[in-house]
Chain A
Amino acid sequence: DQQVKQNSPSLSVQEGRISILNCDYTNSMFDYFLWYKKYPAEGPTFLISISSIKDKNEDGRFTVFLNKSAKHLSLHIVPSQPGDSAVYFCAASRSGAQKLVFGQGTRLTINP
Chain B
Amino acid sequence: KAGVTQTPRYLIKTRGQQVTLSCSPISGHRSVSWYQQTPGQGLQFLFEYFSETQRNKGNFPGRFSGRQFSNSRSEMNVSTLELGDSALYLCASRALAGRNEQFFGPGTRLTVL
Contact = CB atoms under 8 A, between A and B. Distances in A.
A99 B58 contact: yes
Contacts of A51: 99
Contact of A98 (B94, B107, B109): B94
Interface residues of B, number: 27
B12 to A, nearest CB: 16
Contacts of B43: 44, 89, 91, 100, 102
Contacts, number: 64
Q: Do most interface residues of chain B lie in helix, strand or loop, or is the interface mixed?
A: strand
Contacts of A98: 31, 33, 48, 50, 55-56, 94, 100, 102
A43 B42 contact: no
Contacts of B100: 32, 34, 49, 93, 98, 100
Contacts of B6: 43
Interface string B46-61: 0010100001101000
Chain A interface residue count: which class?
20 to 34
A97 B56 contact: yes
Most buried by B among A43, A51, A97: A43
A110 to B, nearest CB: 23
Contacts of B33: 98-100
Interface of A: 32, 34, 36, 41-46, 49, 51, 89, 91, 93, 97-105
25 contacts: A32-B99, A34-B102, A36-B104, A41-B109, A43-B4, A43-B6, A43-B90, A43-B92, A43-B107, A44-B43, A44-B90, A46-B102, A98-B31, A98-B48, A98-B55, A98-B100, A99-B33, A99-B48, A99-B56, A99-B58, A100-B33, A102-B35, A102-B42, A102-B43, A103-B42
